[in-house]
Chains A and B, each alone.
Chain A
Amino acid sequence: MSTGTTVERSTTSGRGAEGVRGLGVSTRGLVHIYRADGHDVAALSGVDLVVAPGEVVGLLGPSGAGKSTLLTLFGGLMRPSAGRVRVGEHELSTMSEPELDRFRAADVGIILQGAARNLLPYLTARQNVEFAQRSAVKAGRDVPSPGEVLELVGLDHAATAPLDSLPPGQLQLAALAVSLASRPGLLLGDEPTSQLHHTSRDVVLDALHRVNAEWGTTIVVVTHDPDVAARLPRTVTIRDGRVGGEGRAGEEYAVVSADGSLPLPAAVVEAFPPGTLVRVHHEDGVWSLVREQGGTSNG
C-alpha cells in the first residue's frame, strides 16, 4: 500500500470514474442547544460551513467542541435548534421525519464511533450490507451489489465470515461497507479510526479515500488523531461550537464567519489577549492587525 498514492487520489477528490456523485453540505448560523442536568447547553453556536460535493473533510477540535453534534446534524439524526443545514438538495432543518428516514436510507451513510455499534452482531458483513440496503431499495434507489461494496472497502474475502472472527481493522471496514451500502452521496464518520492499530488505521483511511476517488462520495469525518488529519486534504477545527479555523494542505487558516467575525488562531490569541484593542490596517493589499498600546476594550 502506498501512502503517496492515497494522497494523490485525495487531491483528485470527487472525481471518480463515474463522475461527481457527492453531495455538498452547507450550514448557516447553525445552533444546537441540548438540555443537560436541567441546564441548556449550546453545543453549536453559529456554525457556517460549506463542504463541496466530493470533498473529503476532517472535523477536528477538543472534546465537547461540538464535532459529533455537527456530524449528527449532517446525518439528520437531530434537528438544529436554529440555523440551516443543507445536504445536496435537502434542507434538513425543515424535512419531515419520513423524508429524513428516506434521506438516511439513500443519501447519507453514517459510521458511529466503535465499529461494533454499526453492525448487527449476528449477521456477516455481507448480510449487514444487505440489511442496510433494504430501506434504500424500498425507497427505489439503485444500490450496488453487496459484493461490490465489500470489494471497494477491501473486505470481499471476509464477506461471509462471522463478525466475531474479524480483527478490529476488518470490523471497521465492515462498518464502512455498511455505511456505504446504499452508495450514499455523503459519508459521515465519527472517529472511524479510533481504537485501531496504525496499520489498520491506514487500511481504513485508504478505503475512505478509495471510496471518495471511485464513487465521488463526499466524506466528513471527526477525528482527534493528528496523523489522520494530516492525510485529509481539508480539516475544519471546531472550537466552542463554532468554526475555529481550517487547514488545507498543511496550512492553517482562520475563517471569517458569515457575521464577519474572525476567530483567531491560538497563537494569535496569545499575542492579542481578550479585550485587546486592535486596529486593522490595509496597506498595499495587505491587511495588518495593529495593537493599540495600553488600550483595552473596557479601558
Chain B
Amino acid sequence: MWAAIRYRRAQALVLVLLATLVTACATFAPLYERALEQSLLRKAIDGAPVADTALVVRGGRTAADPLRRSGSLGTAVPGEVRALYSAPVGQMLDVIEIAPRTGLKSSPGRLVARTDVCRHLTLTSGTCPSREGQVLVSAKDQAVWGWRIGQEFQTTIPKANGQVYPRPPDTVATLTVVGAYEVKPDPAYWLRTQLDGKSGTLIAVGTEQVPGIDDFVTTEQTFDKRWEQVQSSLTFPLRRELLSVDNLDQVTSVLGSRANGSAQSGVLVESELPLVITSVTGGQKQLRVIVPLLMAQLALLAAAILLLVAQAAVEQRRPEAALARLRGRSREGAGRLVMGELGMTVALGLPLGFGLAVGLSEVVRRTLLAPGVPFEVPPLALVGLGAAAVVCALAIVLAVRPLQRQAISSLLRRVAPTRAVTFGVVDILAVALAAFGLVGLATKTLTGPLALLTPTLVALAGGLVVSRLAVPVARTAGRASLSRGRIGPALTAFGLQRRPAMRKVVTVVSVAVALTVFAGNAVVVADRNWTARAQLQTGAPLVLGTDSRNPSALAVAVKRIDPSGDRATPVAVIKQVAAGSTPTIAVDAQHFPSIAYTPAGEVLRTSALRPPPVDTVVLKGERLTGRATWHVTAESNILYPGSTGQASDLAPVEVRFSVTGPDGTPLVRQVTTIPANGSGSANISTPLLCPSGCRLNGIDFRPTDPATKLVSATVDVTGLGVDGRSLGIADTSRWNAFVPLSKDSTDVLRMTNPKPDTMRFDVRTSGVAVGLTYGDVPTQVPGLLTGAVPPGGTAEGFTAVGINGVPLAVSSAQRPAALPVVGARGVMLDYSTLQRLGGTLAPGGTLSVWLRDPGQADVVRKGLADAGIAVLRTDRFTTAKDLLATSGSGWGVRLALFTGVMSILLAALVVIVMTVTGWRVVARDLAALHMSGVRLPLLRRALVREQLLLVVVGTVVGVLCGAVSALVAMPLLPLFDDPSAPVPALEITPSVPAVLLATLAALLVLVPVGAMAALGSGRRIALRRIRESL
C-alpha cells in the first residue's frame, strides 16, 4: 500500500492536502468559535469592574437572628457557584451621627467594619481597632477637626422601630478613636465601598448644610445587639480565570434565580454577573450562526473537491483494479484494494488537518484575541474530526463504487465507458435544492442548514448546468471553427467538449469563486455597516465630552478655538429619563455638516435649521421706557354678582413683554397698562427687573378683567426702549406672525410700522392674551425629527425639550431615518437658536465638542481648558468601530476572509489536479495530432486556451452565483451582537467593488495556475506518448 502511495506521490500529496483542508475546516470552526466565545467572555469580564462580577450576600439583623454578623451570610451562597469565588470580604455598616466639634450640629457618617481592613489602610497614627467601640478616623478628618487618639464620640444607635409612638429613648454608643487612616487604593478589596472623600465637603441634611465626615472604621464586635439596623454583607470576588463559556448558563440560572432572595430569612444574594454574561451570550449566539454559515460552505466545497479528486484518482487505478480481478479478486476485493490505498492517503490528512486547525486557532488566540483565552480543544472539534473522517471515507467510497460496479472486461478497457451528456440526477438535485434555497431565502421562510448552504448550492447548480450546456456549445463552436479552417480554436472547442475535467473544473471554480465573492462582499458589507453604526454612535471622528453646563460659554470657547467653525463645533444632547421620550440634539446647523458624519443613506437638511437673521434683543437696565397711544373699545359679560356689565368698568388691559431669564426661565415683564375703553396716551416707565439681563421673547396684550367679552384696540408704541434707549424693534420683519390659540379663534393681533420706531398693534381679543413673539427664535423651531412624533403632537407641530430643559414648539422640516448619537428617536435642532433661549444645560444633558480631525484633540482640549471647561470623556469613531469589529459578529464575519482565500486555493488545487491526472491522455491525443502534421505551438496554444476558458467560464458563473447569493443570503449573516433592530438600518446591498475585487483576486490566482498547468501538459506532447501503454 505504501508502495502504491509512493508511486503517485504528487497525487497522494494532493489527496492528503484536501483531506487536511476538509478536516481543518470541520475542526477549525468549533475551535475558532470556542476561542472567540472565550475571548468575548474574557473581554467582558476583564472590562467589568471587580464589583460588577462579585457575588454579594446582604442581610440585616432580624428577630430570628438578632446578632447576625457578616460571617453567617456565607451559607446563603449557592453551592453550585461557590467554587467560582475566592475568599469573601465581610462588612458590617451602620449610620452614625458625629458632632465633629463641640457645639456643631451632628454630621451623618458611617461606621464600617470590614474583614482585614487594616491591611488595606495606611495608619497614619495609632493602631488598628481590636476591641468593641474602637474606631479609626480618616487622617483628613483628624487634621481638619484636630481629633486625637483616645477621643470619644457619642453616637445614637439607629433603631428599627423609630416610627413608633411614643418614641423609645435613644440608645447611645461610645466610639473611641484609636488611630487615623488613609485608604490604600485596591479596587479588588474595596469594591464599591469608599470610606473617604466626604471630609471637607458640605452635605445637605434637610434644609441645612453640615460638614461631611469620612467613615469610621471599627471591628465587628462594636456592633453588639443594640445595633439592630446594622447591615451585613459578604462579598465574594469572582475568580475570573474559573469563569468559562461552559459555566455561563449555570451561573446565570443559579444567580438569576437567587437574585431576589435566598433560603435564609432576610438575606439577599446579588450579582451583576448575569448582566455581564448577557452581553457575552449575545455575541455567542451570533457566532453560532456565522461560523457554521461560512465554514460549512468551505467544508462542502472541500468535500466536493475531495470527491472529484478521488474520482480522478480511482479512474487512474482502473488497470490496478482490473489486475486484481484478473488475479481472482472479487469486485469488492478489487474495490477494497483501491479504497485501502486512497483511504490510507486521506487518513494521513486527518491528523494534519486537525493539527492545522489547532495551530491556526492558536495563532488567532495568541495574536488577535483577548488575553487570558485558554488553549482548549472542545468536544465539538473532536466531533468535527470524526465528521471529517466520515466525509473523507464517504468520498472515497463514493468514488470507488462505480469501479466496483464495472465488469472485469470493462475494467480492462483503457478508458471508462463514456457517460451521457444529458442532465443527471445530481444536476437536477442541485438545481432543485438551489432553487428551493433561493426561494426560501427570498421569502424569508428558510432557516437551518439548507439556508446556510444555499450560496454554495446555487454556485454548484450554476456550475453543473453551465458545464452541461457548454458541451453542445463547444461542439458547435468546434465544428464551425473547423469548417472555417481554424484548427486552433477547433481543437480548443473539441477539447472542452470531450474532456470530463471540464465539468469538474468549471463546477469547482464556480463554487470557489462564488464563495470568495460572497465572503468578500460579506466583509465589505459588514465593514460598511460597522462604519455606519460607529459613525452614528459617535457622530464625528472625535467627540470631546465636557463638564460645561453653559451652552453659550461652550459656543464662545469653541468659536475662539476655531473661528471658522469648520474644524470644531459645539453639540448639546439632552436625553430625558422617561422611556420613550424624544431626546434632543442641538447642533450648529451651519458648520455641523462639515464636521459630523451623516447617517448612512441620509442627507440631513440642516440648512432648514438655521436661525432667522434677527438678532436677539437683550433687555438690560432699570426701566422700560417709551410712549403708548391707544384707542380701545370693549364689551363685557356679567360674570359674577356685583359686576355691572358695563364695559367702562372693566379692568385695564396689560401690555407685557415675555422674556427669558439668564437661566432660560420664561418670565413676564409688564410694559404698561391701558384702559379697557377709550383713547389716550401715556409715557412708559416701568421697572425692568432684569438685573442680569433678559432676552426679549415677545409682546402680548392681556385683558385682566375676567368679565371681558371682547376688546378691540389700536395701540401705538413709540420709542420702546430701556432707560430711554430705543430697542429698535419696530420693524415688523423682526417679529413672527401672529398665531391664534386655535383655528376657530377670532382673536387677532396685527402689527404695523406706521412711522419709524413706532409699532402699531391692531388688537382684537375675546378676553385672552394675544401676543407676538420676537423673530430671533421662530414661533415653531424647525427640527429634523426621527422616529415617532412625540405624544400629543403632529409632524407639523410638536413639543421638544430645549438645551435648557424648557419645552419648545417644533415643526418637522425633515423625517430622517436616524440622527447622530440619538439614533432612531430624537429631534435635531439648531444650537444657536436654542442658545438664544438662554439657560444652562438641562439635567441629563451633555455638552460636547465635535472635531473633524482627531489630531486637533489636544489643541481643542487646551483651548477648552483655557476657557475653564474640562474634557470628561473622549469618544473616537475608530474606537467605536473597533468595538463593533471585535464583537462576536465581527470576529465571525472576519472568518469570511479565511473562507474566501481557502476557496480560491482549493479551486487552484483542482485545476492542477485535473491537469496532473489527465495529462497523459491529453498529451497522447495531441501527440497523435502532432504526428498528423499539426504544429506543436498550435497544439500547446489550444491547450492553454482550453484551460483558461474553463477558468474564465467558471469564474463568470461563480461571480454571478456569488452576487445572487450575496443578495439573498446576506440577511442570514448577523453583523451585530445586539439582536434588536439595527440603527441605522442595515445596508446589505452587494458591494460592486467588493465583487469585482474578489473576482480579480480569483482570476489573478486561477488564470496563472491554469495557464501553467496547461503549459506543463503542453510540454509533454511528444510522439513517444503514442507508444505509451500505461
Residues of A within 8 A of B (CB): 72, 77-78, 97-98, 101-106, 110, 112, 114, 116-123, 127, 131-132, 134-136, 139, 178, 181-182
B4 at interface (Cβ–Cβ under 8 A)? yes
Chain A contacts for B407, CB-based, 8 A: 78
Nearest-neighbour CB distance to chain B for A122, whole angstroms, equals: 3
| B333, A135: Cβ atoms closer than 8 Å | yes
Residue picked from A72, A103, A106, A132, most chain B C-beta under 10 Å: A132
Chain A contacts for B328, CB-based, 8 A: 101-106, 135-136, 139, 182
**Contact indicator per residue, chain B 1-26, by CB within 8 Å of chain A (1) or not (0):** 00110110000000000000000000
| B330, A123: Cβ atoms closer than 8 Å | no
Chain B contacts for A97, CB-based, 8 A: 330-331
Q: Given that A77-B408, A117-B319 are known contacts, is A122 also in contact with B327, CB under 8 Å in the complex?
A: no
A113 to B487, CA, bound (A): 35
| B1029, A116: Cβ atoms closer than 8 Å | yes
| B327, A132: Cβ atoms closer than 8 Å | yes
Residue of B nearest to A104 (CB): B328
B152 at interface (Cβ–Cβ under 8 A)? no
Q: Given that A120-B320, A122-B4 are known contacts, is A114 also in contact with B1029, CB under 8 Å in the complex?
A: yes
B579 at interface (Cβ–Cβ under 8 A)? no
Tell me if B's interface is mostly helix, strand, loop or mixed: helix
B409 at interface (Cβ–Cβ under 8 A)? yes
A190 to B407, CA, bound (A): 19
| B3, A101: Cβ atoms closer than 8 Å | no
| A105, B329: Cβ atoms closer than 8 Å | yes
Chain A contacts for B319, CB-based, 8 A: 117
Chain A contacts for B323, CB-based, 8 A: 117-120
| A104, B325: Cβ atoms closer than 8 Å | yes
Residue picked from B7, B323, B412, most chain A C-beta under 10 Å: B323
Residue picked from A77, A110, A123, A136, most chain B C-beta under 10 Å: A77
| B409, A98: Cβ atoms closer than 8 Å | no
B390 at interface (Cβ–Cβ under 8 A)? no
Residue of B nearest to A127 (CB): B3
B934 at interface (Cβ–Cβ under 8 A)? no
A104 to B325, CA, bound (A): 8
- From A98, A112, A114, A122, give the contact of B330 (CB < 8 A): A98
**Contact indicator per residue, chain B 803-835, by CB within 8 Å of chain A (1) or not (0):** 000000000000000000000000000000000
B931 at interface (Cβ–Cβ under 8 A)? no
Tell me if A's interface is mostly helix, strand, loop or mixed: helix
Chain A contacts for B409, CB-based, 8 A: 72, 77-78
A178 to B324, CA, bound (A): 11
Nearest-neighbour CB distance to chain B for A111, whole angstroms, equals: 10
Chain A contacts for B326, CB-based, 8 A: 77, 104, 110, 112, 118
Q: Given that A120-B320, A122-B7 are known contacts, is A135 also in contact with B327, CB under 8 Å in the complex?
A: yes
| B6, A101: Cβ atoms closer than 8 Å | no
Nearest-neighbour CB distance to chain A for B590, whole angstroms, equals: 83
A78 to B409, CA, bound (A): 7
Chain A contacts for B320, CB-based, 8 A: 120
| B412, A101: Cβ atoms closer than 8 Å | no
Could you name 22 residue pairs across A and B whose Cβ atoms are closer than 8 Å? A72-B409, A77-B326, A77-B412, A78-B407, A101-B329, A104-B325, A104-B326, A104-B327, A106-B328, A110-B326, A112-B326, A114-B1029, A114-B1030, A116-B1029, A118-B323, A118-B326, A121-B7, A122-B4, A122-B6, A131-B327, A134-B329, A135-B328
Nearest-neighbour CB distance to chain B for A206, whole angstroms, equals: 24
Nearest-neighbour CB distance to chain B for A118, whole angstroms, equals: 7
Chain A contacts for B7, CB-based, 8 A: 121-122
A141 to B491, CA, bound (A): 54
| A123, B3: Cβ atoms closer than 8 Å | yes
| New A-B pairs, 11, CB < 8 Å, besides A103-B328, A135-B328 | A72-B409, A77-B412, A101-B329, A110-B326, A112-B412, A114-B1029, A117-B1030, A119-B323, A134-B327, A134-B329, A136-B328
A123 to B407, CA, bound (A): 25
| A101, B4: Cβ atoms closer than 8 Å | no
Residues of B within 8 A of A (CB): 3-4, 6-7, 319-320, 323, 325-331, 333, 407-409, 412, 1029-1030
Chain B contacts for A114, CB-based, 8 A: 1029-1030
Residue of B nearest to A116 (CB): B1030
A93 to B900, CA, bound (A): 58
| B412, A120: Cβ atoms closer than 8 Å | no
Residue of A nearest to B330 (CB): A101
A120 to B324, CA, bound (A): 9
| B412, A181: Cβ atoms closer than 8 Å | no
Residue picked from B320, B328, B409, B412, most chain A C-beta under 10 Å: B328
Residue of B nearest to A75 (CB): B326
Residue of B nearest to A178 (CB): B327
A178 to B323, CA, bound (A): 10
Chain B contacts for A116, CB-based, 8 A: 1029-1030
Nearest-neighbour CB distance to chain A for B699, whole angstroms, equals: 108
Nearest-neighbour CB distance to chain B for A181, whole angstroms, equals: 7
Nearest-neighbour CB distance to chain B for A190, whole angstroms, equals: 10
Top 6 closest pairs, chain A to chain B, by CB: A105-B328, A135-B328, A122-B7, A132-B327, A116-B1030, A122-B3
A134 to B7, CA, bound (A): 21
Residue of A nearest to B7 (CB): A122
Residue of A nearest to B411 (CB): A77
Residue of B nearest to A118 (CB): B323
| A105, B327: Cβ atoms closer than 8 Å | yes
A256 to B7, CA, bound (A): 52
Chain B contacts for A98, CB-based, 8 A: 330
A101 to B323, CA, bound (A): 12
A117 to B330, CA, bound (A): 19
Nearest-neighbour CB distance to chain B for A138, whole angstroms, equals: 8
Nearest-neighbour CB distance to chain B for A77, whole angstroms, equals: 5
Chain A contacts for B330, CB-based, 8 A: 97-98, 101
Nearest-neighbour CB distance to chain B for A136, whole angstroms, equals: 6
Nearest-neighbour CB distance to chain B for A51, whole angstroms, equals: 20
A114 to B328, CA, bound (A): 20
A210 to B328, CA, bound (A): 24
A123 to B331, CA, bound (A): 22
A116 to B330, CA, bound (A): 22
| B329, A120: Cβ atoms closer than 8 Å | no
Chain A contacts for B1030, CB-based, 8 A: 114, 116-117, 121
Nearest-neighbour CB distance to chain A for B9, whole angstroms, equals: 11
Nearest-neighbour CB distance to chain A for B140, whole angstroms, equals: 90
| B1029, A117: Cβ atoms closer than 8 Å | yes
A171 to B1, CA, bound (A): 22
Residue of B nearest to A115 (CB): B1029
Chain B contacts for A118, CB-based, 8 A: 323, 326
A102 to B333, CA, bound (A): 12
Residue picked from B4, B407, B1029, most chain A C-beta under 10 Å: B1029
Chain A contacts for B412, CB-based, 8 A: 77, 112
Chain B contacts for A104, CB-based, 8 A: 325-328
Q: Given that A77-B408, A77-B412, A116-B1029 are known contacts, is A135 also in contact with B4, CB under 8 Å in the complex?
A: no
| B3, A135: Cβ atoms closer than 8 Å | no
| A135, B1029: Cβ atoms closer than 8 Å | no
Residue of B nearest to A119 (CB): B323
A78 to B408, CA, bound (A): 8
| B4, A120: Cβ atoms closer than 8 Å | yes
Nearest-neighbour CB distance to chain B for A189, whole angstroms, equals: 13
A121 to B327, CA, bound (A): 15
Residue of A nearest to B326 (CB): A110
Nearest-neighbour CB distance to chain A for B412, whole angstroms, equals: 7
A119 to B327, CA, bound (A): 11
Residue picked from B326, B329, B408, most chain A C-beta under 10 Å: B326
Nearest-neighbour CB distance to chain A for B12, whole angstroms, equals: 11
Nearest-neighbour CB distance to chain B for A296, whole angstroms, equals: 43
A120 to B325, CA, bound (A): 13
A136 to B326, CA, bound (A): 12
Nearest-neighbour CB distance to chain A for B330, whole angstroms, equals: 5
Nearest-neighbour CB distance to chain B for A261, whole angstroms, equals: 29
Chain B contacts for A178, CB-based, 8 A: 327
A287 to B103, CA, bound (A): 164
A77 to B409, CA, bound (A): 6
